[in-house]
Amino acid sequence: MAGQGGATVGEVADQFGTPRGLARSTVLTMMERLRQKRRLTRRRIDGIYRYFSPTSRGEVLRDVVQTFVEKTLGGSVSPFVAYLTESADLSEQEIADLQRVVSELRHKRHSR
């Protein structure tokens, strides 16, 4: 994968499928289904198809978090904030990052 980006079916099968007992054909089927749903694209490079994500990592993460908040937390981040204040062992850097996020949220709210 190095240098070209994306991944071949064989690379995905070796990294993720084999450790989980999935055959290469199963990995191919899953990747093709993702391509049909437009979650992956593919390009032929040097005679081999390489699969790519059409969305950035940031977009994927944002969608995952949004889905988690909506479906698991009922649309409210309050349970997560309660967890952070009661259970999490945060580093000074993580606390500073959270303070920065809160500051940005306040700024956005006052800018409306």
In a domain, residue 2? The reply is: no
Give the Å distances, CA to CA, from 47 to 27, 32, 42, 43, 50: 19, 17, 12, 9, 10
Identify the domain containing residue 103 by its residue range.
Answer: 57-111
- Give the pLDDT score at 29: 97
Does 3 fall in a domain?
A: no
Same domain membership, residue 103 and residue 63: yes
Q: What is the mean pLDDT of residues 2-7?
A: 68
Which pLDDT does position 57 carry in this prediction? Answer: 82
Q: Hey, what are 45's tokens? A: 């490079």
Q: Would you say residue 13 lies in a domain?
A: yes
* 42 within domain boundaries: yes
For residues 95-100, average pLDDT: 92
Q: How many domains does the chain have?
A: 2
Provide CB contacts within 8 A for 44, sequence distance 6+.
Answer: 50
Q: Are residues 84 and 66 in the same domain?
A: yes
Same domain, 25 and 48: yes
4 located within any domain: no
Q: Are 42 and 51 in contact (CB under 8 A)?
A: yes
Verify that 67 and 95 share a domain, yes or no. yes
Mean pLDDT of 76-97: 88
In a domain, 40, yes or no: yes
User: Is the pLDDT confidence value at 1 over 50?
Assistant: no
Over residues 12-68, the pLDDT tens digits come to: 999 999 999 999 999 999 999 999 999 899 999 999 999 999 988 898 889 889 999
